[in-house]
Amino acid sequence: MTSFVNTFYDASAKYFYTNSDHQIQAAHAYGPNGGLYTDFWWEAQLWETVMDAYQRTGSSTYRTMIDDIYTGFNAKYTNMVANQFNDDLGWWALACLRAYEITGTQEYLNRGSFLFDHVYASWDTTYYGGGIWWRTDAQNPAISTNAQKNIATNAPMVMTAIKLKNAYNNASYLTKAQQIYSWIQTKLVNGSKVNDHMEGTGAGIVKDWDFTYNYGTYLGAATALYMATGTASYLTDANNAATYVIDKMTSATTLLYEGENDAPGFKMIFARNLNQLRTQASQSQYLGFLQQNATQAWKFTSFQTAGLPILIPTSTSSQLLSLD
């Protein structure tokens, strides 16, 4: 983690660089300063990585970074809801509420609650019987090819709603969590398979793309509901999703390559939530798998120590912090 921070973190900007050489790459030039710094949803994941480190070490350095990164992000994005992607906003809602749980800082609860309400306002039953739209500017598939309802938007909102239920002791958030989860289960889950999204007019069509973060967010949502309700079916759902990935999306027990740029971060989300399933729901059967993948990530980053010219994907390094 120290090497990761030394390589990627700009303490003056209170923000993470996109690339280890601190150069802008056209392939992913989406973040602040023309892509010098990580974009919206990447920074949310890296903020959570710092929280991972703080919870495991109790280091005052990481505790300070939790507050600093929030400040740095808000300096770059002065109006978060100008972002039209509900999944991006959802990652920050979830991260803010985790930061509140760790620190007790009221600002994080206020921001997480505000962002949840903003995203949940895109819940709609006109198409596909429910679900939250992916984008605030694309909610009619008859006129926009970007109109879709996906796992990446809906499943994190289940976890966020449970955190709000716990923070406010307000059962209405549990109702919303179960409402969103029920829609996911009905429309996007087929047995152990978690599909990516629905699109199109009328009843819509399901896109069955497999990504690890879809399974990770789904099993995270199921775990959160299991912990909140004790209902065994949620635990079954979480284990089914975890088993699917381990059986079908690995090579020699190592999570598969899924592409460049955004895609490597998918595995970080899967690993973090799988570890929560292991620790919170006492599912010890995943420890060996997680340790094996942590070992693979560690071996990869060791090339950097040897001085070889390899750019460390942010998600690979941060994935290490998802494991006990």
pLDDT of residue 311: 40
Under the banding of pLDDT at 50, 70 and 90, the label for residue 304 is low
- The sign of the dihedral angle between the CA atoms of 136, 145, 219, 253 is negative
Under the banding of pLDDT at 50, 70 and 90, the label for residue 239 is very high
Which whole number is the average pLDDT over 265-282? 96
Which whole number is the average pLDDT over 150-176? 98
Report how far residue 95's alpha carbon sits from residue 115's, in angstroms, rounded to the nearest whole number.
11
pLDDT of residue 93: 98
Strand partners, 199: 148, 205
Under the banding of pLDDT at 50, 70 and 90, the label for residue 303 is low
pLDDT at residue 312 tops 80: no
pLDDT at residue 211 tops 90: yes
pLDDT-above-70 percentage for the chain: 93
pLDDT-above-90 percentage for the chain: 87
CA distances (Å), 32 to each of 77, 152, 157, in order? 8, 23, 25
Which whole number is the average pLDDT over 111-120? 98
CA distances (Å), 205 to each of 126, 147, 149, 201, in order? 15, 12, 11, 8
Q: What are phi and psi of 187, to 5 degrees?
A: -105, -30
What single-letter DSSP state applies at residue 125? S
- Enter the tokens of residue 105: 């800082």
The H or E element that residue 248 is part of is: helix 232-248
Please, what is the average pLDDT of the chain? 92
Q: What is the pTM of this model?
A: 0.92
